[in-house]
Amino acid sequence: MSAQTGSKSPRLSKPQIIVGYCFSVLFMAGGLGETGINLYRLYYGNESLSWSSCEGTIEDTPVIYAVTGGTGPIKYQPIIRYNYIVGGKLYSGDNYRYTRNKFPLDRTEKIVAAHPVGSTVTVYYAPHSPERSVLVPGTDWCHYIRIGIALTCFLLSLWLFLYIANRNGPYAPSEPVFG
């Protein structure tokens, strides 16, 4: 094999190409999916700041679900069921907030204790769609960080995809990198 000169490296082998494309497509999809989920939460979280409000009543004993995932600490999700009336019609909801609903156990227990059965709460609801409601309107800073990480993952994967395509396109060197 002769030494390559110029700005391009030798072509990649077929297994390298397959692994590289699979890796980049998988991470591009994951990055776009995570970005979409967090944009959705941010959109409705921000929108909920301008929603109408009414009084509601906690109907069910809040249930705490343990949420495991990854290698981090176990998080818990408070499920608080409430009823409220808009325009003479009864609605039910269990959306505590649009962003970050999973907390450490001590914080979850405080949230549950602050919402005993029969207590009155302020419910924020979408005026054009009153069945959409939330107890805590607004957004959380963590979704901006998640969007940044997801977009970085997407862009790095796109770069890898284009890098592989460029190194193996019609103008790429003719020798494989590793034989």
Q: Among all chains, which residue has been given the structure tokens 């497509």?
A: 25
The gap from C-alpha 83 to its chain's centroid, in whole angstroms, comes to: 27
What is the per-residue burial (b if ≥16 Cβ within 10 Å, else e) of 103-137? beeeebeebbeebeeeeebebbbbeeebebbbbbb
Residue with the bigger pLDDT between 131 and 74: it is 131
Strands (E), the chain: 52-58, 63-67, 75-79, 82-86, 89-93, 120-126, 129-134
Q: Which pLDDT tens digit goes with each residue over 54-111?
A: 999 999 876 677 766 667 778 888 888 999 999 999 999 998 887 767 788 888 889 8
Is the CB of residue 121 less than 8 Å from the CB of residue 95?
Answer: no
pLDDT tens column, 111-129: 888 999 999 999 999 999 9
Q: What is the pLDDT of residues 3-46, one digit of tens each?
A: 444 555 567 788 888 888 888 899 899 889 989 988 888 888 89
User: Is the predicted pLDDT of residue 179 greater than 60, yes or no?
Assistant: no
pLDDT grade for 144, boundaries at 50, 70 and 90: confident
